[in-house]
Amino acid sequence: MDHPAVPTEPIGSVMVEIGLGHGALVVRTPAALHGREIEISPLEAPRQRRHVEVLPRALAAGIVHAAVFPSLPTGPYLVWDPCGGLPRRTRVAAARVTELDW
């Protein structure tokens, strides 16, 4: 099975769905994580993981590498280290985009 190629050019905007009971999470990473998957799980359910790829993103301030989780139920989460280190805790707030620097 062929997999789509990981984009090497910066990606523009990302549609997020936030509001009552939902927020989004942006995990900024080093460029070395380009193409790697970042996983997230609810704090109380670490086996219920979702993942997204780290991709280059075009911002007004320049290019950053980030994983974007566009819609998550509010609450505490674990963000899993793609290199096998300890997970980091974060909290997703309703109607907001939470940012985490890796």
CATH code: domain of residue 82: 2.60.40
Residue 50 is part of which domain span?
Answer: 22-101
Rounded Cα gap, residues 67 and 63, in angstroms: 13
How do residues 64-77 score in pLDDT, each as one tens digit?
Answer: 999 999 999 999 99
Q: How many domains does the chain have?
A: 1
Q: Do 90 and 77 touch, CB atoms closer than 8 A?
A: yes
Whether residue 13 is contained in a domain is answered as: no
Whether residue 36 is contained in a domain is answered as: yes
**Number of neighbouring beta carbons within 10 Å of residue 97:** 16
Longest CA–CA span in the chain (Å) reads 39
Residue 100: the pLDDT is 97
Residue 96: the pLDDT is 96
How do residues 70-99 score in pLDDT, each as one tens digit?
Answer: 999 999 999 999 999 999 999 999 999 999
How do residues 2-52 score in pLDDT, each as one tens digit?
Answer: 555 655 666 767 888 899 999 999 999 999 999 999 999 999 999 999 999
